[in-house]
Structure 1
Amino acid sequence: MEQRIWHKQYRPETPAELDLEPVTMPELLARQAKRIPKSDAMLYMGKHITYEELDYLAGRFAAGMAALGVGRGDRVAVALPNTPQTVIAHFGLWRLGAVPVACNPLYTDAEMEHQFKLAGVGAAVALDLLCPRLLALRAKTDLRLLVCCHINDYLPFPLRQLYPLLKRQMYRRYERQAGYWPFMEVIANAPGAHTGPPPKWDDLALIPFTGGTTGVSKGVMITHANASSIVQILRAWFFDLASQPGSELGVFPIFHISGFTGVLNTCVINGWSNILVPKPEPATALQMIIKYRPDLVPAVPTLYVGIMAQPEFAKADLSFVKGFFSGAAPLAVDTIHDLKAATGGDIMEVYGMTESCALITATPWRGKLKPGSVGVPLPNTDVKLVDMEDGKTIVPVGEPGEIAFRGPQMCAGYYNMPAETAHAIRDGWFHTGDVAKMDEDGFLFIVDRTKDMIVASGFNIYPREIDEVLFEHPAVLEACAVGVPDDYRGETVKAFVVLNRGMKATPEELDQWCRQRLTPYKAPKLYEFVESLPKSAVGKILRRELRDREWAKSGRQRNV
């Protein structure tokens, strides 16, 4: 690709453009099974599963699902936390040429119904607790086959024995219904291992759903080319780690695009051990970091804040962590400094979306760090900032504009939504709806989402800027600013604030703090102190949920 201003930030070991190999993820797993058969592919609560074993189990699961009628192109929902079955199911379905549909186990019945209908889901692999609900969806969707996973299937002894047997008996009555199979039986009954042709480079590999933060959730078409290309790019980015044995904390849920790319596929392409974390809570995550000593720890900023608030953090020796990478929200400067001081590891902020297979930009690995920036565009990736009105004119350096990108990680569009696809992908560029500035070095600074922008008295206000100012206050743990209805200004700014444990603050104190750091029209006019903020499954603060609640209380409708 043409030389861009950000390419000068790359290390000499990382080229601006890689010659990508057309190899799919199941083919890469088969390679690792031959190259490092006895190395750990997964570590689950003390249970070790090698690459040789993972490859074998994926083959048997593929054969077992084929025997139950699943074939090439079939869409299969995977509604699981980070457990071995999640990894086995993805690679097994890919062996068949089937398409996993990423499903958050916390979805409501209505959300699942919408997504199953949209994607044409005919089979599902799900946690036992979800199975009664999914069985009820068979009358409303095309779901005909349900594979049930028990949380203790791959637990080592004695943890396996601690699992309440009574809970398992609660679901045993479903296990002989037509179209209902336990996961372990699918593997045990398989007629050998599946040996069919691998999926093609341009075949669908995954249908994840956008989080619904901008309206009705859409199914994103991720191809095998997307999935493989982005982790090949990441392997080049982590130039000094990719050739070494390593491990990564699997704290990002695999059903989220960050976990799919940054954990599941990144581990396999590098031959690393995936330390699976089924429930990403700060105390659990810190315990697993201390116990299993991962080389890389990916997480959202809220999880880092929670980890660092644990009493054990201050006295823990985390010098073995080589790097942290963070996305979904800005990582505070204090958090960056504290992580660096505690571990010496590199801090990498990233920016991306479901439609980009999670990544568009990243802090240069072993390179320059600019706090507040999400780094520079990755190799093979082009980015431009365009005028928010016409969507075409490129804005000057330092001016805000909508992010548009193109590259091999760009999705093929939205499943069964041609109008939405045409709106997002124009002339080969994906228009993200996110607003950013780029500096003279090519570093990107996210301003906000266009749909989150607050318009007050004709002024455009980006709530993310307000969040960052509030977060700098010593008493504030978390903050989220939203636009609420105002008879005079149209909208005005309200801030929801979570205070640090044992600390106090008043609206007057926070108002003075903000007015010293923000233009007066940007300072919140209203404050509400809350115990917690609503978050997605990966810990991203759901600004839209707070905003919609405020507008619903007013009985008015927002025109954005």
Structure 2
Amino acid sequence: MKKASVRKSGKSKSSIGEYAWLKHYPPGIEWRTEFKSEPLANILERSAEKFSDRVCTYFFGKTISYSEIGRLANRAAKGLQALGVGKGTRVGLLLPNCPAFVVYYFGILKTGATVVNCNPLYTVEELDHQIKDSETEFLVTLDLAALFEKADALLERGNLKTVVICPFADMLPPLKSILFRLLKSKLLADTENSGKPDRIVFERSVLDNDGAYARPEITPETDIAVLQYTGGTTGTPKGAMLTHANLTINIQQVDAWATNLDKEGEIILGVLPLFHIFAMTTVLNFGVARGFKMVLVPKFDIDDVLKLIGKTRPTIFPGVPTIYNAILHHPKAKSIDLSSLKFCISGGAALPAEVKRGFEALSGCSLVEGYGLSETSPVATCNPVEGALGEGSIGIPLPATIISIRSAEKPEEEMPLGENGEICIAGPQVMPGYWKNPAETKDAFTGKFFRTGDIGYMDEEGYIYIVDRIKDMINASGFKIYPRRIEEAIYEYEAVEEVTVIGVADEYRGEAPAAYIKLREGHSATAEDIRSFLEQKISKIEMPRDIEFRDELPKTMIGKLSKKELREERETD
């Protein structure tokens, strides 16, 4: 697997000489590794052949083997090709964690098309923007009302050619499937009353074939496997173009790092949503590449997850700090046996030291913090799984990855060890750029280094520490929330004259939005009025936790609304 590199990080002309992290790089891991890329769908083909009888997915008690997932993906590929999907076509996945996500993710990739991950929690407005920007033509979703109604609304807007509907109940064990249809039929959509019935295709017709799909020619270094939408540092949604090379190499980088895992028998707990880049790599791609069993959880519920841990005995548990914190403080946590856990990696947000120590004491498993972004596939750094850890650090660079701390004002200049600057990343997992956005792509790079927009420093041992995130961005359970978007939605309310949104500390999510509003003279409104208005404008996670009305909002000397004073006020409360 390790031959000529697709993209080499090269030798940095660093003023600090030899890379600091090489002084104490984990034993058995070679930083100067050259990885070989390949089409991403190859990882499923290998596992379906090599681990044919192993369980690939576990979903509400129903298991599907690797060979069966492989066959379904082949049939999905042929069925999609019959609908007109081909190389370069963008196909959206509007799905929670479920076997259909795995089948269609790889089915799309097999056709040479590009996966466009869509957040099921997004409003129709948010989804419509992403569909139009990405030029997505096909969408795969479930027959659940909460999802189908959004897909149907998108069809009505005329930007999609076809929606493929997968039956949720078919993914359940036989008895649960029957009971679901009988007792929870209200959750199912009335698909026959679609406004565009001629554009709806049901899964049974898509999969009704022999699976002998036409194999496209894929160039891993340049062909786009996934369009992963991110607000980046500006808050404007952009599609990070992730090539087959980016993603297959990041799998190998994570694999090299996970030194304490066995070649077989590992079980991954898939609590994080697969449409999010962190889970897409550390649960789906990594799990399938290694032939591990994936326990898929469509919606996080702390009680259900604790029961599932006790029942399925997972060994790998990628998560975000809020999830580990919720388990740590659950009243029944001490009665749940967490001893099966071997590899827990936290990402998406800063991991508080008390949460790390507490979870490790509770589980007996080392909880390591990693770091990355959608633009880096995503994993770029991580603390060693075994041996020395950097307390409060996001770790050291993965193999073939270079981290450079650059001057925020002059990004071409590298900062000395110990001094703050912008964290910049170079490596084979870094995207080539943003979809249809050359200006943003140019601004995002300084030479070969991707500018993360996060401020941090590197110590003498090569460990990186984040000092501050983008000034205005709100980080809620690993999801990036941008105040400007919330502000623009609130401004649409007739009674609002001015609004400022900031991030405030939140015990569960880490951060949450808080809105400060000045009403127009002679108008009135309550916090509930504002929330009701916003329900169709923004997603639930973007909904302000606090809404406060004020006679005046702080401004700068030139009259620009200022967030600084509100932040300081919150910090002194």
Tell whether the structures are fold-level matches, with TM greater than 0.5: yes
- Unmatched 5+ residue regions in structure 2? 1-9, 12-17, 485-499, 509-533, 564-573
Report what 2:404 is aligned to: 384
Q: TM-score with structure 1 length normalisation?
A: 0.81
1:272 to 271, 292, 298: 292
Whether the 8 Å contact between 1:438 and 1:444 is mirrored in structure 2 is yes
**Residue 497 of structure 1: CA displacement?**
4.9
Kindly indicate whether the alpha-carbon contact (under 8 Å) linking 2:402 and 2:426 is maintained by their aligned counterparts in 1. Answer: yes
Aligned residue runs from structure 1 range 528-547, under 5 A = none
1:296–1:322 CA contact under 8 A, matched in 2 = yes
Q: Is 1:220 equivalent to 2:240 in the alignment? A: yes
Give 1:105's aligned residue: 120
Contact 2:269 2:318 in 1 (8 A): yes
Q: Residue type of the partner of 1:376?
A: I
Distance 1:126 1:25 in 2: 22
User: Within the alignment, does 1:300 sit opposite 2:320 as a pair?
Assistant: yes
The answer to whether residue 553 in structure 2 is matched with residue 554 in structure 1 is: yes
Structure 2 residue aligned with 1:209, among 219, 223, 229?
229
1:432 is aligned, of 444, 452, 463, to 452
Deviation at 1:242, TM superposition (A): 5.3
Cα 1:354–1:499 change in 2 (3 A) is: closer
Alpha-carbon distance, 1:546 to partner: 7.2
The alpha carbon displacement at 1:207 in A equals 0.6
Deviation at 1:169, TM superposition (A): 6.2
Deviation at 1:450, TM superposition (A): 3.4
Aligned equivalent of 1:194, options 203, 213, 219: 213
Kindly state the Cα deviation for residue 251 of structure 1 after the two structures are TM-superposed: 1.1
Letter in 1 for 2:452: T
Given that residues 57 and 99 in structure 2 are in contact (C-alpha distance below 8 angstroms), is that contact kept between their aligned partners in structure 1? yes
Query: Residue 70 in 1 paired to residue 85 in 2?
Result: yes
**Change in 2 beyond 3 A, CA 1:211/1:164:** farther
Matched, 1:134 2:151: yes
State whether residues 272 and 318 of structure 2, in contact with CA within 8 Å, keep that contact through their aligned partners in structure 1: yes
1:7 aligns with 2:22: yes
Distance in 2, Cα, partners of 1:4 & 1:84: 43
Using the alignment, how far apart are the partners of 2:335 and 2:346 within structure 1?
Answer: 23
Question: Match for 1:227: what amino acid?
Answer: L
Which structure 2 residues correspond to residues 220-239 of structure 1 after superposition, within 5 A?
220-239=240-259
Asked whether 1:352 is paired with 2:372, we answer yes
Deviation of 1:272 (Å): 0.7
Q: Which residue of 2 aligns with 1:401?
A: 421
SS in 1 for 2:190: helix
1:237/1:552 CA distance change after superposition, 3 Å: farther
Equivalent residue, structure 2, for 1:246: 266
How far, CA to CA, are the matches of 1:381 and 1:399 in structure 2? 20
Match for residue 167 of structure 2 among 141, 146, 150: 150
The Cα shift of 1:324 comes to 1.1
Alignment check: 8 A CA contact 1:94 1:199 kept: no
Shift of 1:52: 0.6
Deviates more, 1:250-259 or 1:14-23: 14-23
Deviations 1:475-533 (A, max 9, x none): xxxxx9x99xxxxxxxx998845569xxxxxxxxxxxxxxxxxxxxxxxxxxxxxxxxx
**Structure 1 counterpart of 2:82, one-letter code:** A
> 2 CA distance for matches of 1:421 and 1:90?
26
Q: Which residue of 1 aligns with 2:497?
A: none
User: Which amino acid counterpart does residue 322 of structure 1 have in structure 2?
Assistant: K
- Asked whether the 8 Å contact 1:67–1:190 carries over to 2, the reply is no
SS of residue paired to 2:220? coil
Does structure 1 residue 94 correspond to structure 2 residue 93? no
Q: Which residue of 2 aligns with 1:315?
A: 335
Residues 39, 220 of structure 2: 8 Å contact kept: yes
CA pair 426-112 structure 1, distance change in 2 beyond 3 A: same
CA deviation profile, 1:308-349 (whole Å, cap 9, x unmatched): 222221122211101211012222222212222222212110
AA matched with 2:90: R
Structure 2 residue corresponding to 1:46, chosen from 50, 56, 61: 61
**8 Å Cα contact 2:369/2:383 also seen in 1:** yes
User: C-alpha displacement at 1:140, in angstroms?
Assistant: 3.2
Identity among equivalent positions (%) equals 35
- Measured after TM superposition, the shift of residue 210 of structure 1 is 0.6
* CA 1:548–1:365: 2 relative to 1, 3 Å: farther
Residue 90 of structure 1, CA deviation: 0.6
Unaligned runs of 5+ in 1: 454-462, 468-479, 484-491, 501-533
- Give the ranges of 4+ consecutive aligned residues of structure 1 lying more than 4 Å apart after TM superposition: 492-495, 497-500, 539-542, 544-553, 555-560
Counterpart residue type for residue 400 of structure 2: N
Asked if 2 retains the 8 angstrom alpha-carbon contact of 1:435 and 1:447, the reply is yes
Are the counterparts in 2 of residues 26 and 198 from structure 1 also a CA contact under 8 Å? no
Q: Which amino acid aligns with 1:150?
A: P
CA distance in 1, matches of 2:338, 2:115: 36
Deviation at 1:398, TM superposition (A): 1.3
Determine the C-alpha separation between the residues in 2 that align with 1:389 and 1:122.
41
Distance 1:440 1:493 in 2: 38
Preserved contact between residue 27 and residue 198 of structure 1 (Cα < 8 Å):
no
Separation (CA, whole Å) in 2 of partners of 1:548 and 1:242: 50
1:73 counterpart SS class: coil
Counterpart pick for 1:343 among 360, 363, 368: 363
Which residue in 1 is equivalent to 2:386? 366
Q: What SS class does the counterpart of residue 245 from structure 1 fall into?
A: coil
Compared CA separation, residues 376 and 37, structure 1 to 2 (3 A): same
Does the 8 A contact of 1:208 with 1:220 survive in 2?
Answer: yes
Aligned mates of 2:338, 2:356 — CA distance in 1? 15
SS in 2 for 1:59: helix
- The structure-2 alpha-carbon separation of the partners of 1:388 and 1:558, relative to structure 1 and needing over 3 Å to count, comes to farther
Could you give the per-residue CA deviations for residues 420-472 of structure 1, whole angstroms, max 9, x where no partner exists?
Answer: 0110023111111110111111111111123339xxxxxxxxx99xx9xxxxx
Conserved in 1, the CA contact under 8 Å of 2:108 and 2:114?
yes
**Structure 1 residues 141, 425: closer, same or farther in 2, change over 3 A?**
farther
Which residue of the other structure, out of 31, 39, 46, is the alignment partner of 1:16? 31
Equivalent residue for 1:285, pick from 293, 297, 305: 305
- Does the CA-based 8 Å contact 1:281-1:303 persist in structure 2? no
Q: 1:29: which partner in 2?
A: 44
- CA deviation digits over 1:270-292, x for unaligned, max 9? 11111101002322222221111
Over residues 205-254 of structure 1, what are the superposed CA-to-partner deviations in whole Å (9 max), with x where a residue is unaligned? 00111157742211110110011000011111113315233111111111
Residue type of the partner of 2:397? P
| 3-state secondary structure, aligned to 2:323 | helix
How many residues are paired up?
491
Q: 1:319, 1:342 within 8 Å by CA — same for their partners in 2? A: no
Distance 1:71 1:548, change over 3 A: farther
Partner of 2:350: 330
Separation in 2, partners of 1:132, 1:225 = 36
Instruction: State the Cα distance separating 1:405 from its structure 2 match.
Output: 0.8
Q: What SS does the aligned partner of 2:71 have?
A: helix
| Contact residue 37 and residue 244 of structure 2 kept, 8 A | no
Normalising by structure 2, we get a TM-score of 0.79
Amino acid corresponding to residue 92 of structure 2 in structure 1: A
* Residues 41, 273 of structure 1: 8 Å contact kept: yes
Mapped contact 1:551–1:558 kept (Cα < 8 A): no
Tell me, in whole angstroms, the C-alpha distance in 1 between the residues paired with 2:551 and 2:294. Answer: 43
Per-residue deviation at 1:152? 1.6
- CA spacing shift, 1:222–1:545, aligned 2, 3 Å: farther
Q: Distance in 1 between matches of 2:231 and 2:546?
A: 16
Counterpart code for 2:57 = M
Which amino acid is 2:291 matched to?
A: G
Query: Offset of 1:158 from its aligned partner?
Result: 1.5
Find out whether 1:122 has 2:141 as its counterpart. Answer: no
